[in-house]
């Protein structure tokens, strides 16, 4: 039912119920007033007739008893004299005296009346009304035992008729006026109600289809309005004109970090600023939607492919302009996924899903924007399949650890290893962590998975200890694991059970920008520290929280991210960053490890800057446990400073 039907229905209901109410009120009013007027009329009639009868009785007595006319029947002159006394409305006047019955006036109208007959028979004074078809009669019977005189008088009513007709006239007018007024009031109220109803309906509709923060249409609006685009005629039109309808899914990068660190008010302001920018891009064929959280959707019709791409570029560039909010300046960026209709989907859901897939790729590879292609879907499908196999993979022990050495500079002695997971997939072969770690992190297996990795690493450590190898193993944990209340207890039990010294286990926590919760991290790190395990911050310098981490967390190692190492030989800025970090870490009493060292030049440069610990393909790729053992034994026989490289 639409709103017009609803309001029409409401109007009708108000009108009908008001009319109904008016009728009921009028009916009650009429009936009460009618009864009242009748009672009043009767009482008036009674007073009037009684007075008349009293006078008549006096006169009758005077005439009958005056001249001692005690003969009956009365002679005609006396009768005439008595009749002359009667009012013209008196239609019955009968006298009983000395057992004589004299009918001065009588009529068949009342001859049958039981009330009168009863009064006469019992000689009891009484009165009453007789209603015949045309008129109303009032009778009064007065019997006086002193004189043995009884009189019956019947007369036509006047007061009653008058009262009733008087009242009924006015009643009719009043009832009509009440009715008329009620109908108008009802019409007025119903119009008022309808207006209010329509206004609140409009408001509700607006609230349901718009986002309160930015004022932009929301997801409900999108589904309501965009659906009309998707039909066979529209497909044909776009094919004939060689135009497309593009859906852009826009997601703010690192918005959660800003929200978490700067507070929701700043986050809100940022969203408003971005929404304004997107609206500035709008032309008549486009629409900006706040799809949810930090996600916006823009749709634009009648574009050619070049226009569609330049719109995506415009969105990316526009959102990269610094935004100032509450005296802070934010360097924002967005990732945009684009899907074309009809090529990339003929339904809104498909287009959004595909644009979303493209957006994730753009975000992951920091591309700015990505146009959907079928291969992306295949890859997503592949990952979805992997997600479904996680549980079985854990149960079937398909996750195995490889170990990459950490070396001491400049002599390159192996001082520890980092445990890196691999998935021995029965169909896909050896899968590297970048294919599945994020799937695990997003799943409920993340805690179970990490505990399993800790178990494997500790078992390996025990095995090496049994063979006389004392080699610290670093295990990677995801920031999500910090939320696992049993993590520390579990690790403690493992260390005890396998009798592995805690100092041989190191926990590497990625400085993941999407999980900045310093308080929680500090709390868990303190517990881990108490156990005696070593702690390190991984990929240092990539997240937003680097300095907060380094300041607030009591860690042993800082692993400087590979991105600073790649160009350290050629780019003096990277060199400056690393030198600075080294000084900082030294001041804060933390050891640094440089990651991703691939060339001798890099190694020499880093050593000259003061790096003491390194990891990278130059020294060794990640190896199986056996590979590490043979590398260690090789190292033993190496006598000079030659760099070990098994590649
Ligand atoms: P990460 O912790 O930064 O690990 C180092 C990654 O860099 C490893 O990749 C390693 O093979 C690679 N690498 C080492 N030296 C070099 C080099 O010289 N050049 C280049 N290009 N790469 C180098 P891998 O094994 O693919 O692991 C990738 C990431 O997956 C790891 O990065 C870590 O964040 C995550 N990961 C691996 N194993 C686990 C695990 O058991 N649990 C968790 N939560 N994450 C893990
Ligand atoms: Ca690591
Ligand atoms: Ca790393």
Tell me, which fold does domain 389-632 have in CATH? TIM Barrel (3.20.20)
**Which residues have a Cβ under 8 Å from the Cβ of 606 and sit 6 or more positions away?**
409, 565, 568, 578, 594, 597, 614
Mean per-residue pLDDT for 346-366?
A: 90
Mean per-residue pLDDT for 538-566?
A: 84
Cα end-to-end span (Å), the chain: 73
Testing ligand 1's pocket by substitution, the residue of 403, 424, 445, 476 carrying the most ligand atoms inside 8 A of its CB is 476
Atom of ligand 1 nearest to the CA of 618: 18
**382: pLDDT confidence band, cut at 50, 70 and 90?**
confident
Give SS3 for 87. Answer: coil
User: Do residues 296 and 217 touch, judged by C-beta distance below 8 A?
Assistant: no
Mean per-residue pLDDT for 543-570?
A: 85
Closest residue by Cα to atom 33, ligand 1, is 476
Helices (H), 299-373: 305-320, 348-364
Closest residue by Cα to atom 25, ligand 1, is 420
How much distance in Å is there from the Cα of 534 to the middle of ligand 2?
13
| pLDDT over threshold 80, residue 392 | yes
Nearest to 480 by CA among 430, 443, 433: 443
CATH architecture of 219-384: 2-Layer Sandwich (3.30)
Mean per-residue pLDDT for 105-111?
A: 81
Testing ligand 1's pocket by substitution, the residue of 394, 405, 420 carrying the most ligand atoms inside 8 A of its CB is 420
- How far is residue 29's CA from residue 21's CA, in Å, rounded to a whole number? 12
Domain residue extents for the chain: 3-163, 219-384, 389-632
- How far is residue 155's CA from residue 93's CA, in Å, rounded to a whole number? 9
Ligand 1: does its nearest atom lie under 6 Å from the Cβ of 596? yes
Count CB neighbours of 282 within 10 A: 12
Question: How high is the pLDDT of residue 262?
Answer: 84
Beta strand extents in 182-322 (DSSP E only) = 244-252, 286-292, 295-303
Tell me, which fold does domain 3-163 have in CATH? Beta-Lactamase (3.30.450)
**Which residues have a Cβ under 8 Å from the Cβ of 513 and sit 6 or more positions away?**
254, 257, 542, 543, 544, 545
- How far is residue 570's CA from residue 331's CA, in Å, rounded to a whole number? 27
Ligand 1: does its nearest atom lie under 6 Å from the Cβ of 434? yes
pLDDT digits (tens, 9 = 90+) for 206-222: 888 999 999 999 999 98
- How far is residue 26's CA from residue 173's CA, in Å, rounded to a whole number? 11
Ligand 1: does its nearest atom lie under 6 Å from the Cβ of 616? yes
User: Do residues 312 and 249 touch, judged by C-beta distance below 8 A?
Assistant: no
Read off the tokens for 152.
């019956």
**644: pLDDT confidence band, cut at 50, 70 and 90?**
very low
Strand pairing partners for 560?
540, 594
DSSP string, 126-152: EEEEEE-SS-EEEEEEEEETTTTEEEE
Mean per-residue pLDDT for 286-301?
A: 91
pLDDT digits (tens, 9 = 90+) for 151-198: 888 888 776 666 677 777 777 777 778 778 877 877 787 788 778 878
How much distance in Å is there from the Cα of 112 to the middle of ligand 1?
122
- How far is residue 505's CA from residue 491's CA, in Å, rounded to a whole number? 10
**90: pLDDT confidence band, cut at 50, 70 and 90?**
confident
Nearest to 49 by CA among 106, 1, 89: 89
DSSP string, 413-429: EEEEEEEEEEEEETTTE
Read off the tokens for 1.
């039912």
Read off the tokens for 229.
């685009």
DSSP string, 215-236: --BBHHHHHHHHGGG-SHHHHH
Half-sphere exposure of 200 (CA within 13 A, CB side): 7
- How far is residue 493's CA from residue 455's CA, in Å, rounded to a whole number? 10
- Phi (first) and psi of residue 645, to 5 degrees: -145, 110
How much distance in Å is there from the Cα of 420 to the middle of ligand 1?
6
- How far is residue 401's CA from residue 389's CA, in Å, rounded to a whole number? 18
In Å, how far are 434, 515, 541, 618, 644 from 254, measured between CA atoms? 20, 10, 15, 33, 40
Ligand 1: does its nearest atom lie under 6 Å from the Cβ of 481? no
Question: How high is the pLDDT of residue 159?
Answer: 65
Mean per-residue pLDDT for 492-496?
A: 98
DSSP assignment letter at 210: B
Mean per-residue pLDDT for 548-576?
A: 91
Q: What is the pTM of this model?
A: 0.55
| pLDDT over threshold 80, residue 354 | yes
Least confident of 120-134, 390-404, 438-452: 120-134
């Amino acid at each position: 039912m639409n709103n017009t039907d609803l309001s029409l229905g409401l109007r009708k209901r108000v009108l009908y119920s008001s009319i109904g109410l008016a009728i009921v009120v009028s009916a009650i009013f009429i009936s009460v007033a009618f009864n009242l007027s009748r009672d009043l009329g009767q009482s008036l009639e009674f007073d009037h007739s009684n007075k008349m009868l009293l006078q008549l009785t006096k006169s009758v007595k005077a005439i009958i008893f005056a001249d001692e006319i005690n003969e009956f029947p009365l002679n005609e002159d006396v009768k005439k004299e008595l009749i002359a006394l009667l009012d013209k409305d008196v239609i019955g006047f009968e006298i009983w005296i000395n057992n004589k019955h004299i009918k001065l006036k009588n009529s068949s109208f009342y001859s049958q009346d039981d009330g009168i007959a009863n009064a006469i028979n019992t000689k009891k004074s009484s009165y009453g009304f007789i209603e015949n078809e045309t008129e109303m009669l009032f009778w009064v019977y007065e019997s006086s035992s002193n004189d043995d005189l009884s009189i019956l008088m019947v007369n036509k009513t006047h007061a009653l008729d008058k009262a009733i007709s008087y009242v009924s006239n006015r009643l009719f007018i009043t009832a009509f006026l009440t009715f008329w007024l009620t109908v108008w009031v009802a019409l007025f109220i119903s119009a008022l109600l309808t207006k209010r109803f329509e206004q609140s309906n409009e408001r509700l509709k607006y609230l349901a289809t718009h986002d309160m923060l930015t004022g932009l249409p929301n997801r409900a609006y999108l589904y309501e309005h965009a659906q009309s685009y998707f039909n066979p005629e529209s497909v044909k039109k776009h094919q004939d004109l060689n135009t497309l309808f593009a859906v852009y899914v826009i997601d703010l990068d690192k918005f959660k970090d800003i929200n978490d660190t700067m507070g929701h008010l700043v986050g809100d302001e940022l969203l408003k600023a971005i929404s304004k920018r997107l609206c500035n891009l709008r032309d008549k064929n486009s629409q900006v939607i706040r799809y949810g959280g930090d996600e916006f959707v823009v749709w634009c019709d009648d574009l050619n492919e070049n226009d569609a791409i330049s719109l995506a570029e415009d969105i990316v560039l526009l959102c990269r302009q610094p935004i100032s909010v509450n005296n802070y300046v934010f360097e924002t960026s967005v990732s945009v996924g684009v899907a074309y209709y009809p090529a990339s989907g003929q339904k809104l859901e498909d287009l959004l899903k595909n644009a979303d897939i493209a957006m994730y790729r753009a975000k992951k590879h920091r591309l700015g924007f990505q146009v959907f292609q079928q291969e992306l879907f295949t890859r997503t499908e592949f990952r979805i399949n992997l997600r479904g196999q996680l549980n079985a993979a854990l149960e079937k022990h398909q996750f195995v650890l490889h170990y990459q050495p950490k070396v001491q500079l400049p002599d390159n002695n192996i001082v520890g290893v980092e445990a890196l997971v691999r998935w021995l997939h029965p169909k896909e072969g050896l899968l590297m962590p970048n294919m599945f770690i994020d799937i695990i992190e997003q799943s409920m297996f993340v805690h179970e998975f990490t505990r399993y990795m800790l178990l494997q690493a500790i078992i390996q450590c025990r095995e090496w200890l049994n063979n006389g190898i004392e080699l610290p193993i670093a295990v990677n944990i995801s920031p999500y694991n910090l939320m696992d209340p049993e993590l520390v207890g579990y690790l403690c039990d493992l260390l005890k059970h396998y009798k592995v010294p805690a100092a041989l286990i190191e926990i590497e926590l990625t400085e993941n920008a999407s999980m900045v919760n310093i308080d929680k991290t500090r709390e868990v790190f303190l517990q881990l520290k108490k156990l005696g395990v070593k702690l390190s911050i991984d990929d240092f310098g990539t997240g937003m929280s680097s300095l907060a981490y380094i300041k607030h967390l009591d860690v042993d190692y800082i692993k400087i991210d590979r991105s600073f190492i790649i160009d350290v030989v050629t780019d003096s800025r990277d060199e400056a960053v690393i030198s600075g970090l080294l000084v900082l870490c030294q001041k804060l009493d933390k050891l640094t490890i440089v990651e991703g060292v691939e060339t001798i030049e890099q190694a020499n440069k880093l050593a000259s800057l003061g790096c003491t610990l390194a990891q990278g393909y130059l020294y060794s790729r990640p190896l199986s446990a056996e590979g590490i053992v043979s590398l260690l034994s090789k190292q033993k026989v190496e006598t000079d400073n030659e760099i070990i490289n098994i590649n």
